[in-house]
Structure 1
């Protein structure tokens, strides 16, 4: 192959040619030519066919030089002995090439030439890279070079595209960021030039976005950054065959598209029996018990009546078109059963399993989706449990709350969804809807998320996701103006899909959770690790109004128990929230109250039971008035140890405390987030009392937690979301 000092092809043409030739990577010279076409500076260089030509080409450059082998068989050139640094002159270039050609790993390889380039002056080594995440598509990485990336893995990732603000935020996340700014007397680098390289790689019109279907992994390692700019001295570009991508057509009006799911006027049920109590029979009975007052049409090939309702042979035979069909029959029969709707069914939720979750069902799942689309039916599932919608009187769990709430949930696990509904119910959570989506063969998570964003009833959204399906559409939605509501994500399987054969530094450093961590940094979403944290955060969002213009930082911690206050302050500090002692008028006014001995008003405000019994518990209102008026915290976190009030005289101040809380919420509305932790000793009596108090708190608009630490974690998630919502 003949090389020239400057490629006659554009970067786009070089990539297209390499893919057409079936190459898995660009050679370094071509990789740098691609970078140059995107405006990234690289060293002056040329490729020689042999040692003699290397000497001749070097004579036209400025020493010292770097010499590298060019071979499609050698990905890691240094390991093969194919890199020589600080080569003094043209004659030394010839000697270096001759010596490298004798190395065993090089002598047996297909060598296409020798790259000769001017050596870049010293500066700070930085790695800029990218890779194609299997779900979200292009991602960009930055990290400090040398030991920082090799050993400490001091790197930051974002989903592309990024802007200048996000590029600077990535640099700010690096543990060694101060080294870029001139730590310990070293010269500061041109950070603007580094940001420019990051944008040329991962920006809206950068290399990774423009060639998202071609570039598998990218390493600029290192980029030498100094006060004079940034130069990419090594470039590794790994390729993948271009693939066609079939996107999902989005509905113009998501509320109209999914109203039949959340507020169905007619429900068809497939799988109910006249002899046995099948799951479909149970569903009909729960519909009736839940108060559903629309038409119910059992579908059965021969029966005339099921569960007291007239039965019909197929979806095309019902008296009225069907808004929602609950499908629980044998998997093999379902595609044709849905095809029989012939435009007379809006949404079918397929409960049955035996589809794409098992290898032998994948083709059946494709057939299901194809026939449903032909019949004009949107499919939820298959392999799920159902939908819970209080406003539509639709439910799959028994005993779910009938009150319409403000929390919308999408979940890929049916069993976990039941836990979320029931555990959330006891915690005071109320739902605008919960949809189990199973395999998401047709309707993807982002489509239901878009519905909740547009739904006037929903205030916040929770997602339990294992496979996001069309992750790019999900990310684009989360970055769009439609994403006006906070999203809590409980991600399953974050560690199960490892990039096992990554060939670049970037790929090796990009674990499965990097894309999700990046998404939470780039969008109004927060990641949680447990069902408890999921419910805690949604509970906080149910009651608190996010303040994008004033993200939460300062906290007043107020309650009984000195040790609890100390541990509570530690818990808030651990999540980045400040419980700092009062100064000035707030401290003076609190001290002037002359509260009983053992009381501390410094913040935390530690009030023993004796103090809280003052004025039959109404003293708490006086304390809170001073805090609101003169300390002006972003949040007030109150904690009560209920066991401490047992047997402490005839006055139980807790009922009055709740009256104070309710009054305070009205008097100081919008001034500070108010949260409450009610702690017990685990006895049935106190746990039951806490349950009653939770209902009072819910009526007052106050989220209740079992301990201080979960309350702190939920408030930190609120702060995280406030920082990412547009004010």
Structure 2
């Protein structure tokens, strides 16, 4: 606890001892002062007469506010009076407010008389305790209008000064703080000081994360002379936050039995029917799994041509990984009976925590597995796909070992990700379905992928992150984090509709996830297509935090497509800017066929691209890369335009051109390609073949320019986050 926290702890302890659920305003402002946040000079009086007398110790004009544990929003009750000139006005105001119905019916403990703050911009600084991620800090413009304007920014605590500045820049009304339309600018440094005092590493929310559930400093008056909290409200928490578990010291060893199992036990296969466990065994064989498979069955001698054993404990060797698809009620004892001969169990069966009546059984499963030294994946999931270990649950999955690691709480969606990703050119280092994630939590597998040299980027489909604070701390503190793409399910729940404070009411369920992406090398997406698009570029590119992507050269055929493409990149915050004269000169000197434009976007009709059997594109790109040094080259081709246009296929040669250019200009620009088709079977088959050629040279291929622009914007965002972390 910091030095300033000691006195603050007494304020909170006293409020709890008095049975309060929130701090009164005087106590709230005393708490703020312990953290260096300015508040007006004030006194608390018990009567109108005392208010008149003690106002003389302050400087007019005055504000008077009711002090009552029954009144949280004082203005709504008529419990605030402004612009009082002297003690007599204070006395009259107290008498008038005391007679108002809501105040007369409440327990009134006194009246706060304070000096009015000089005029300035009204902001709100707040905080609340997110149930998954812990303390969060908020800043917004608008004072009493904040609920209407909703011009707010959130971050997960702790924040530093740079992040506080970014929060202000996120506000649509940020220009108002800088003196828009000739007005004086505010003291932004003082405002940032206040934000860090609330949400910083030693700030109020982190120091009292177990005690404060919601905080509102509203309004905070900011002017050229500083920032002063005119009002403050703190709602006390009912219980402490759960403690985050310690991270594994060696996740690669912990999860090696999952991704590279030498022995697999299968529970649930049948000698009579083709159960899901039988299908799993067949797929293992078809996939080329080289280890030992032990079907576990109480009476069968053989299943799927393999010797069966009555229990895991009776298998010939200790088991790395068990695939369990038997009745839910039997599973806890089946794992407990492994007698120390099992490392990881993946429970496919449902009937656990996803149902009210199964929660006790799920707790029993986790407890007995822990006693047996077994880590559990699931329950209620589909399996694990690990091409390096010969492990699969979908059929026909690619055998190549790739660079993308995925964790998913949905089994069915995982099959889509693998199969759709396969056709798009995505290859995986692993994919784990975790269902209810009763034991192994998502962040533990992310930690594995971070440590895994095979993995370049991580994708998550999450509905409930479970240990959100541990997840955030991993992403924030890992010495070598990798890009993370999150497809979040269930973002629209109105879980905080009944929040007591402005901050809580404004903090929709997706605020924490948006903050996570704003602070860390994390991208949030909303569809499976966007998820695959993002992972595809992260698989293909070597990220450049030192030179985040911003300037793009758009190169392809189709003038209208180029115009729309320029708009798509602009919408995603990227720039397709015309070349300066020094870059244009060598391009114009090429004397390309009529109809060609080289201004950026570069518009090349099919006839141009067919010159020199397609190698003309390499000459154009050479001039662009040596002269303009763009951050990315975004190529787009309309496949239909090339049908019946001669024997030379310039697109086929284009992959050799790009491979040559990448070799000549290493690290200068990211390359991406959009291949547009008309839906005909002929062109769809061509696009499929081109995608495979592109995959072999590390070139991500998209169906349309907007998807390519969105994926490059994700690269830009992650590069910027990594750059900020390194600096």
Coarse TM-score class (shorter-chain normalised):
over 0.9
Of residues 99, 111, 118, the one that matches 1:102 is 99
- State the partner residue of 2:544: 547
| C-alpha displacement of 1:88 | 1.2
| C-alpha displacement of 1:652 | 2.5
Of residues 349, 352, 365, the one that matches 2:349 is 352
| C-alpha displacement of 1:117 | 1.1
Of residues 112, 116, 132, the one that matches 1:135 is 132
Conservation of the 8 A alpha-carbon contact between 1:428 and 1:694: yes
| C-alpha displacement of 1:42 | 1.1
- State the partner residue of 2:646: 649
1:415-564 equivalent positions in 2, closer than 5 A: 415-564=412-561
Work out the CA distance in 1 between the residues paired with 2:30 and 2:418.
56
Work out the CA distance in 1 between the residues paired with 2:598 and 2:16.
70
| C-alpha displacement of 1:179 | 1.6
- State the partner residue of 1:688: 685
SS at match of 1:26: coil
Conservation of the 8 A alpha-carbon contact between 1:312 and 1:318: yes
Question: Could you state the TM-score of these two structures normalised by the residue count of structure 1?
Answer: 0.97
Conservation of the 8 A alpha-carbon contact between 2:143 and 2:218: no
Moved more, 84-93 or 392-401: 84-93
Conservation of the 8 A alpha-carbon contact between 1:595 and 1:611: yes
Work out the CA distance in 2 between the residues paired with 1:639 and 1:133.
43
Of residues 615, 619, 623, the one that matches 2:620 is 623
Work out the CA distance in 1 between the residues paired with 2:13 and 2:326.
49
- State the partner residue of 2:209: 212
Task: Note the residue ranges of structure 2 that are not aligned, 5 or more in a row.
Answer: none
Of residues 72, 75, 79, the one that matches 2:72 is 75
Q: Deviations over 1:471-492 (max 9, x none)?
A: 0000001101334211111111
- State the partner residue of 2:53: 56
Work out the CA distance in 2 between the residues paired with 1:20 and 1:241.
13
- State the partner residue of 2:570: 573
- State the partner residue of 1:718: 715
| C-alpha displacement of 1:498 | 2.7
Of residues 172, 192, 202, the one that matches 1:175 is 172
- State the partner residue of 1:336: 333
Conservation of the 8 A alpha-carbon contact between 1:161 and 1:202: yes
Work out the CA distance in 1 between the residues paired with 2:68 and 2:46.
12
Conservation of the 8 A alpha-carbon contact between 1:58 and 1:89: yes
| C-alpha displacement of 1:497 | 4.3
SS at match of 1:661: helix
- State the partner residue of 1:123: 120
Conservation of the 8 A alpha-carbon contact between 2:144 and 2:219: no
| C-alpha displacement of 1:302 | 1.6
Work out the CA distance in 1 between the residues paired with 2:241 and 2:30.
26
- State the partner residue of 2:599: 602
Conservation of the 8 A alpha-carbon contact between 1:19 and 1:240: no
RMSD, aligned α-carbons: 1.5
Work out the CA distance in 2 between the residues paired with 1:541 and 1:426.
16
SS at match of 1:79: helix
Conservation of the 8 A alpha-carbon contact between 2:244 and 2:469: no
- Aligned pair in 2 of structure 1 residues 484, 340: CA closer, same or farther (>3 Å)? same
Conservation of the 8 A alpha-carbon contact between 2:610 and 2:650: yes
| C-alpha displacement of 1:61 | 1.6
- State the partner residue of 1:3: none
SS at match of 2:717: helix
Conservation of the 8 A alpha-carbon contact between 2:147 and 2:506: no
Work out the CA distance in 1 between the residues paired with 2:612 and 2:178.
58
- State the partner residue of 2:297: 300
Work out the CA distance in 2 between the residues paired with 1:322 and 1:349.
12
Work out the CA distance in 2 between the residues paired with 1:640 and 1:274.
54
- State the partner residue of 1:150: 147
Q: Deviations over 1:168-211 (max 9, x none)?
A: 11111111112212222222211111111111110001111111
Work out the CA distance in 2 between the residues paired with 1:436 and 1:651.
46
Conservation of the 8 A alpha-carbon contact between 2:404 and 2:539: yes
SS at match of 1:423: helix
Conservation of the 8 A alpha-carbon contact between 1:148 and 1:154: no
Task: Note the residue ranges of structure 1 that are not aligned, 5 or more in a row.
Answer: 1-7
Moved more, 256-265 or 501-510: 501-510
Work out the CA distance in 2 between the residues paired with 1:60 and 1:469.
53
Conservation of the 8 A alpha-carbon contact between 2:298 and 2:311: yes
Aligned length: 721
Question: Could you state the TM-score of these two structures normalised by the residue count of structure 2?
Answer: 0.97
Conservation of the 8 A alpha-carbon contact between 2:209 and 2:241: no
Conservation of the 8 A alpha-carbon contact between 1:616 and 1:651: yes
Work out the CA distance in 1 between the residues paired with 2:568 and 2:84.
57
Work out the CA distance in 2 between the residues paired with 1:217 and 1:147.
17
- State the partner residue of 2:62: 65
SS at match of 1:390: coil
SS at match of 1:341: coil
SS at match of 1:59: helix
| C-alpha displacement of 1:49 | 1.4
Q: Deviations over 1:483-526 (max 9, x none)?
A: 42111111111112431101111111111111111100111101
Work out the CA distance in 1 between the residues paired with 2:582 and 2:63.
68
1:252-331 equivalent positions in 2, closer than 5 A: 252-331=249-328
Of residues 588, 608, 631, the one that matches 2:585 is 588
Moved more, 147-156 or 358-367: 147-156
Work out the CA distance in 1 between the residues paired with 2:247 and 2:654.
50
1:382 pairs with 2:379: yes
| C-alpha displacement of 1:151 | 2.2
| C-alpha displacement of 1:77 | 0.7
- State the partner residue of 1:4: none
Conservation of the 8 A alpha-carbon contact between 1:454 and 1:482: no
Work out the CA distance in 1 between the residues paired with 2:138 and 2:719.
25
Conservation of the 8 A alpha-carbon contact between 2:496 and 2:504: yes
